[in-house]
Amino acid sequence: MNTIAVLGITFYAIVAAQTLPAIDAVITPPARDYNSFVSFRASGTQNYTCPNSTWVLLTPDAKLFNTNNAIIANHSAGPTWQSTTDGSLVVGQLLNSTGTIHGGSNIPWLLLAAKSTSGRGIFSNVKYIVRYNTVGGVAPNTSCATNSAVSVAYTADYAFYSVGNSTGSGNGASFASISVLSVIIALIAIII
């Protein structure tokens, strides 16, 4: 196999490893507005309260897991995600939603903008958050007694789109750093 073929296959392998999650266009972050992403699987509850005979979301309460099934972050009111490994934090603000999924049995897929971040680490440079692949979490389809509460189990994937360099990848399901320099270094390593 000649050097050009090897370089072409290597370049393809590097680009293929940096695939973005397949998500609805309504919740896709603006193109060229980020240069990396990391995604984690979440499991927890959507917690509802009943102020006036109707269920209203109070707060999520979930754990995000890396590819080794270790807890990498907590998800709570705000909505907020905070790393359990480096303490970095991002608070999101809703930009768009797909509406409930699969006949109303799953909570919506969401696109959020980072309203604020703090700390140094995996969430320090986050610009967008996408919630997708949701299962469960929808409030009961019944009336409720005032001041009652219910927690509904859910799972979802969360993708965090960043600008600049994060100081850690957190062993997410996929981490892409779209960098010409990294491609050039990989190609040089193959030639040598």
pLDDT digits (tens, 9 = 90+) for 66-119: 999 999 999 999 999 999 999 999 999 999 999 877 778 899 999 999 999 999
pLDDT at 103: 73
CA angle 38, 111, 84 (to 5 degrees): 40
Task: Give tens-digit pLDDT for 141-165.
Answer: 988 999 999 999 999 999 999 987 5
pTM: 0.76
Region 9-22: what's the mean pLDDT?
41
Mean pLDDT value across the chain: 80
* Amino acid identity at 56: V
Beta bridge partners of 139: none
Sign, CA torsion 117/126/99/46: negative
Q: What is the largest CA-CA distance in the chain?
A: 73
pLDDT at 21: 63
